Amino acid sequence: MNSPIARRQILGAGLAATGSWLLPYRETLAALQDTPTKRVGLIGTGWYGKADLFRLIQVAPVEVVSLCDVDSVMLNDAADMVKERQKSKNRPRTYGDYRKLLAEKDLDIVLIATPDHWHALPMIEAVKNGADVYVQKPISVDVVEGQAMLAAARKYNRVVQVGTQRRSTPHLIEAKEQVVDSGLLGKISHAEVYCYYHMRARENPPDSTPPANLDYQMWTGPAPMMPYNKLIHPRSWRAFNEYGNGIVGDMCIHMLDTVRWMLGLGWPTRVSSQGGIFVDKASKANITDTQTAVFEFPELNVQWTHRSWGDAPDPAYPWGATLYGEKGTLKLSVNSFDFIPRGGNSKPIHRDVKMELEEYPEDKTEKDLERHVAPAIRVHMLDFLKAIAERSKPIADIEQGHISTASCILANLSMQLGRTLAFDPLKHVVPGDPQATAMLRRPYREPWIHPEPNQV
């Protein structure tokens, strides 16, 4: 295995050869060689928590000093893995309660990769304690949580990067610059975002007693207390609306955020959605298996579709975004992009993701790692570190994460209420609709207290 410095030099050379857009990240890599080691803590040591943490270790001089998880087996396994992966070979401290980890007040960076219902409170507490934060998407399970998270980040002047790493995916940055920004599409007046993965849980196991290694009370936290079911932990909690916002909250946010970034869009003016459980009614899951949504922007609608059954219209793009312009079409995914011109004025362009398995050989054997996404996470971490050094906003700043997250939440609320919702982003209300406005805040289970933007 290459040393951390050697790996950073390899990445730096690769970035320099890829394009001028990566020059700031190459410079960040070089600057990191002479900076003090950042002290890092991770809250949520499951699948994506480790993926994020190990990518950070690959590109920066960091010392992972603290880990937190409510699953003691997962926590100790992660501590052993960190000990082997980090340069110092120190085993990090372990905690079952994030409040005790943050009370140490000795962390420069905190990564948060818990289930969605546990994003808001740890993030707000982390910035209060002086840390810069990398928080997974979606940032929140309700709109007011996100509003409070944004307020906290600004009040305490902390850098907060959201894990919407499509903004840092090398081939998608190339697509933005070479196709969208250069005008090859002409006027863009429609976009489609979609997911056809069969990702919704199909089982219906009986409820059971939580395993001894899981603090289920703490895992549930502010969410409703439901009978424990083996689908809940680990990972399949996304099948339940109590802990997230379904496939829209999980997958639409990525691609809606991609379109917003590519086209420079802010808040949608109106959101509508329809859907339900139309096919797989036998599953324990209570999220939709079929749903569409429309996000209305000036002179542009972004239309979402997901089906967790059947075939994708284009097998090469089962999860992605398509931009329609007067001069051509651009298809985008985590694996590739395709520009398809109209007429003979331009040539088609195709790019595939470049994995960095030789530069980072540990990627080859890391369990559950999405190898095609690892390069994007590395660039996203470099952008985060650059923003920390400059005390600036990262590319996936918490405000951008809030817009994309809240838009998806509004889609689900529209489906539940059966009507189109407008949204006032300054007042954070649905004008003329007190019922919808009240639903922007979920009830919290006692003793947890819902964060408020004017009280962080």
Asked if residue 447 belongs to a domain, the reply is: no
At 454 the pLDDT is: 96
Confidence check: pLDDT of 11 > 60: no
Asked if residue 148 belongs to a domain, the reply is: yes
- pLDDT classification of 403: cutoffs 50, 70, 90: very high
Paired strand residues for 304: 193, 293
Query: Tell me: the pLDDT tens digits for 333-361?
Result: 999 999 999 988 789 999 999 999 999 99
* Both structure tokens of 417: 């209420």
* Both structure tokens of 22: 């990566």
Q: Same domain, yes or no, for 120 and 60?
A: yes
CATH number, position 432: 3.30.360.10
Span 166-170, mean pLDDT?
A: 97
Confidence check: pLDDT of 121 > 90: yes
**Closest by alpha carbon to 56, among 444, 384, 406, 408?**
384
Confidence check: pLDDT of 265 > 70: yes
Q: Same domain, yes or no, for 229 and 195?
A: yes
- pLDDT classification of 19: cutoffs 50, 70, 90: low
At 257 the pLDDT is: 98
Q: Same domain, yes or no, for 320 and 368?
A: no
Query: Tell me: the pLDDT tens digits for 275-325?
Result: 999 999 999 999 999 999 999 999 999 999 999 999 999 999 999 999 999
State the Cα–Cα distance between residues 404 and 249, nearest whole angstrom.
Answer: 9
What pTM does this model have? 0.95
Taking phi first (over 0 means left), then psi (-120 to 50 degrees means alpha), and beta for anything else, what does residue 299 get? left
| DSSP conformation letters of 380-410 | HHHHHHHHHHHT---TTBHHHHHHHHHHHHH
At 6 the pLDDT is: 44
**Closest by alpha carbon to 449, among 222, 144, 289, 229?**
222
Q: Same domain, yes or no, for 207 and 143?
A: no
Q: Same domain, yes or no, for 144 and 213?
A: no
At 342 the pLDDT is: 94
Q: Same domain, yes or no, for 333 and 370?
A: no
* Both structure tokens of 368: 């559950």
Query: Tell me: the pLDDT tens digits for 192-237?
Result: 999 999 999 999 999 999 999 999 999 999 999 999 999 999 889 9
Confidence check: pLDDT of 15 > 70: no
Confidence check: pLDDT of 12 > 50: no
State the Cα–Cα distance between residues 334 and 136, nearest whole angstrom.
Answer: 17
Confidence check: pLDDT of 18 > 90: no
Q: Which of 25-34, 165-174, 272-281 has the lowest mean pLDDT?
A: 25-34
Query: Tell me: the pLDDT tens digits for 72-92?
Result: 999 999 999 999 999 999 999
- Total number of domains constituting the chain: 2
At 36 the pLDDT is: 85
CATH number, position 369: 3.40.50.720
Span 91-109, mean pLDDT?
A: 98
* Both structure tokens of 360: 């980072």
Asked if residue 254 belongs to a domain, the reply is: yes
Confidence check: pLDDT of 268 > 70: yes
Confidence check: pLDDT of 26 > 80: no
Helix (H) or strand (E) holding 421: strand 421-422
Alpha carbon distances (Å) from 455 to 113, 123, 161, 224, 290:
24, 15, 22, 23, 38
Asked if residue 429 belongs to a domain, the reply is: yes
Q: Same domain, yes or no, for 134 and 220?
A: no
Alpha carbon distances (Å) from 316 to 258, 338, 382:
18, 10, 30
**Closest by alpha carbon to 7, among 28, 24, 29?**
29
Asked if residue 372 belongs to a domain, the reply is: yes
Asked if residue 456 belongs to a domain, the reply is: no
Confidence check: pLDDT of 17 > 70: no
Confidence check: pLDDT of 43 > 90: yes
Q: Same domain, yes or no, for 66 and 175?
A: no
Confidence check: pLDDT of 137 > 90: yes
Q: Same domain, yes or no, for 378 and 413?
A: no
Q: By three-state DSSP, how is residue 132 classified?
A: strand
Strands 328-332 and 319-325: antiparallel
- pLDDT classification of 21: cutoffs 50, 70, 90: low
At 298 the pLDDT is: 94
Q: Same domain, yes or no, for 140 and 176?
A: no
**Residue with token string 């660039």:** 379
Residue percentage of the chain with pLDDT more than 90: 91
State the Cα–Cα distance between residues 362 and 82, nearest whole angstrom.
Answer: 13
- pLDDT classification of 22: cutoffs 50, 70, 90: low
Confidence check: pLDDT of 3 > 50: no
Helix (H) or strand (E) holding 135: strand 132-135
Span 138-148, mean pLDDT?
A: 98
Confidence check: pLDDT of 441 > 90: yes
Mean residue pLDDT of the chain comes to 94
Q: Same domain, yes or no, for 95 and 215?
A: no
Confidence check: pLDDT of 33 > 50: yes
Q: Which burial class, exposed, middle or buried, applies to 435 when counting CB atoms under 10 A from its CB (0-12, 13-18, 19+)? A: exposed
Span 246-268, mean pLDDT?
A: 98
Confidence check: pLDDT of 443 > 90: yes
Asked if residue 446 belongs to a domain, the reply is: no
Q: Which burial class, exposed, middle or buried, applies to 358 when counting CB atoms under 10 A from its CB (0-12, 13-18, 19+)? A: exposed
Q: Same domain, yes or no, for 299 and 387?
A: no
**Domain encompassing residue 82:** 4-167+358-397
At 244 the pLDDT is: 98
Asked if residue 443 belongs to a domain, the reply is: no
